[in-house]
C-alpha cells in the first residue's frame, strides 16, 4: 500500500487494543514498524476525531524522546481516505519480551539486564515530561542486545483503567489509579504509577506467564489492590531470592511515597541485587524443574505436585565423570505444600 510519504506496509507483526502493527518500509528510515490507529468499534465519529487529533499532537511530543532505550518514533501520518493514522517507529528485530516471558520464568541475570535498560528508557521518558502508563512485557522490545521501552504516549489518564481492564493488566495499575468507591472518579497516573507497573513486570518475568496465570488470574485484583497489601500477598517460585521479593514489594508499595522515587532509583537498587547462582526454571502446574551448571556437573531440582496437599521434591548432581548423588530432598517422600515450599526456599537460599 503506497502513501504520499512513500511508506509501504508489509506483513502484520502484532496487534492490540490500540491498533495492528505491520512491518513497513520508509524511504528515509528503511525498515520500520507501523502501528495503524483507527476508530474503535462502538467509538463515535466525534470521539475518534477528538482522539485522532490528540494522537497527532502527541506524536510531535513523542518524537522528542530520543534515547537508546526508547523506541524511536519517526512520525505519524494521516490517511484521510480511510481516516486512519499510521504511527511510524523504529523496527526492533527481537520483538517484545512478552514472547520470551510466555515460554517460562527468566533467569535473574536476564531480568536485571532487561529492567536496567527499561529503567533508563523510562527515566528519559519521564524527563521529557511524559508518563508511560502501560509498562508491561509486551511494551519492552529487544533490538540486538538492547532493550527499549515502546508504545508510550498512547494511553491517557482517562483511558488507563479501562484499557488495563480490557487487556487483563489491572495488576499493573497502582492502587491510587483505581476509581474511588464513592465518587467513581479515577485517580491520576504519575511517575510512581509507572514504578508500580515496572515492579509488576519484574514479578511477571521472574515467575513466567504460566505461574502468573495460575496464581493471579481469577483473583479480583480490582478489589485486592485498592484494599492494600497486594504486593505482600504475591506468591513466588521458591528459587527467587528474598532480596528480589523485597525489591518488588518496595516498587509496588501501597503508599507512593514508599516506592522508589524514580526509575533511576529503582535501577540503582536493582544493580545491588544478586544474580547468581543462575537457575534455569521450567514451570508446570504439576512439576517444576530447575537446572544449574555447577562446573562440569549439573544440579537438577524436581518439584512434583501430586495434589494440592501432596508434594515431593528432590535434587541431584550429575555428570563430570562422577557418580550421581542426592543434594537435597527425598524422592517419593510426600510433604504438605507449605513444607515443600519452605524446604525448597531453604535449599535455594543456602546453595552456593
> What tens digit of pLDDT does each residue of 254-301 get?
999 999 999 999 999 999 999 999 999 999 999 999 999 988 999 999
Among 50-59, 141-150, 177-186, 221-230, where is mean pLDDT lowest? Answer: 50-59
Residues 255 and 342 in one domain: no
Residues 25 and 57 in one domain: yes
Residues 299 and 267 in one domain: no
Q: Is the pLDDT of residue 62 over 90?
A: no
Q: What's the pLDDT band for 198 if we cut at 50, 70, 90?
A: very high
Domain membership of residue 276 (yes or no) is no
Higher-scoring residue by pLDDT: 322, 313: 313
Considering its fold, how many domains does the chain have in total? 3
Given this model, what pLDDT does residue 3 score?
44
Q: Domain holding 124: CATH number?
A: 1.10.510.10
Q: What is the mean predicted confidence (pLDDT) over 115-131?
A: 95
Residues 234 and 215 in one domain: yes
Q: Is 286 a catalytic residue?
A: no
Residues 182 and 86 in one domain: no
The Cα-based distances of 311 to 140, 208, 331, 339, 346 in angstroms read 36, 21, 10, 9, 16
Given this model, what pLDDT does residue 59 score?
78
Given this model, what pLDDT does residue 61 score?
79
Residues 245 and 315 in one domain: no
Q: What percent of the chain has pLDDT over 90?
A: 64
Q: Is the pLDDT of residue 2 over 60?
A: no
Residues 148 and 242 in one domain: yes
Given this model, what pLDDT does residue 5 score?
57
Owning domain of residue 190 = 98-271
Q: What's the pLDDT band for 164 if we cut at 50, 70, 90?
A: low
Indicate whether this model's pTM tops 0.75: yes
- For residues 187, 120, 127, 188, the Cα torsion angle rounded to the nearest 10 degrees is 0
Residues 44 and 154 in one domain: no
- Which residue among the candidates 134, 151, 210, 254 is catalytic per the annotation? 134
Residues 172 and 192 in one domain: yes
Q: In what order do the strands lie in the sheet with 310-319?
A: 280-282, 287-294, 297-307, 310-319, 325-329
Domain membership of residue 2 (yes or no) is no
Domain membership of residue 279 (yes or no) is no
Q: What is the mean predicted confidence (pLDDT) over 175-204?
A: 93
Q: What's the pLDDT band for 26 if we cut at 50, 70, 90?
A: confident
Distance of CA 184 to the CA centre of its chain: 28
Amino acid at each position: 500500500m503506497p502513501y504520499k510519504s512513500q511508506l509501504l506496509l508489509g506483513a502484520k507483526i502484532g496487534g492490540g487494543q490500540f491498533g495492528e502493527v505491520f512491518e513497513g518500509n520508509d524511504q528515509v528510515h528503511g525498515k520500520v514498524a507501523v502501528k495503524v490507529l483507527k476508530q474503535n468499534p462502538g467509538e463515535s465519529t466525534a470521539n475518534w476525531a477528538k482522539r485522532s487529533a490528540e494522537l497527532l499532537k502527541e506524536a510531535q511530543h513523542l518524537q522528542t524522546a530520543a534515547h537508546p532505550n526508547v523506541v524511536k518514533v519517526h512520525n505519524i501520518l494521516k490517511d484521510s481516505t480511510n481516516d486512519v493514522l499510521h504511527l511510524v517507529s523504529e523496527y526492533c528485530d527481537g520483538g517484545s519480551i512478552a514472547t520470551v516471558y510466555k515460554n517460562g520464568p527468566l533467569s535473574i541475570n536476564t531480568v536485571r539486564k532487561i529492567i536496567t535498560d527499561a529503567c533508563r528508557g523510562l527515566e528519559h521518558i519521564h524527563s521529557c515530561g511524559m508518563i508511560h502508563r502501560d509498562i508491561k512485557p509486551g511494551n519492552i522490545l529487544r533490538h540486538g542486545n538492547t532493550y527499549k521501552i515502546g508504545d508510550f504516549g498512547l494511553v491517557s489518564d482517562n483511558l488507563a483503567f479501562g484499557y488495563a481492564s480490557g487487556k487483563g493488566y489491572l495488576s499493573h495499575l497502582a492502587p491510587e489509579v483505581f476509581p474511588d468507591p464513592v465518587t467513581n472518579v479515577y485517580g491520576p497516573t504519575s511517575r510512581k504509577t509507572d514504578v508500580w507497573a515496572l515492579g509488576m513486570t519484574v514479578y511477571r518475568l521472574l515467575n513466567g506467564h504460566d505461574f502468573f496465570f495460575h496464581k493471579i488470574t481469577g483473583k479480583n485484583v480490582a478489589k485486592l489492590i485498592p484494599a492494600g497489601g497486594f504486593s505482600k500477598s504475591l506468591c513466588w517460585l521458591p528459587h527467587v531470592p528474598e532480596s528480589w521479593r523485597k525489591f518488588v514489594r518496595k516498587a509496588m508499595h501501597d503508599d507512593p511515597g514508599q516506592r522508589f522515587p524514580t526509575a533511576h532509583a529503582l535501577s540503582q537498587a536493582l544493580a545491588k541485587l544478586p544474580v547468581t547462582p543462575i537457575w534455569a526454571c521450567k514451570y508446570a502446574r504439576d512439576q517444576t524443574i530447575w537446572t544449574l551448571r555447577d562446573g562440569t556437573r549439573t544440579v537438577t531440582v524436581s518439584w512434583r505436585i501430586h495434589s494440592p496437599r501432596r508434594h515431593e521434591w528432590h535434587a541431584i548432581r550429575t555428570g563430570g565423570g562422577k557418580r550421581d548423588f542426592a543434594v537435597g530432598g527425598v524422592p517419593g517422600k510426600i510433604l504438605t505444600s507449605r513444607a515443600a515450599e519452605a524446604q525448597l526456599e531453604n535449599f535455594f537460599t543456602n546453595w552456593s
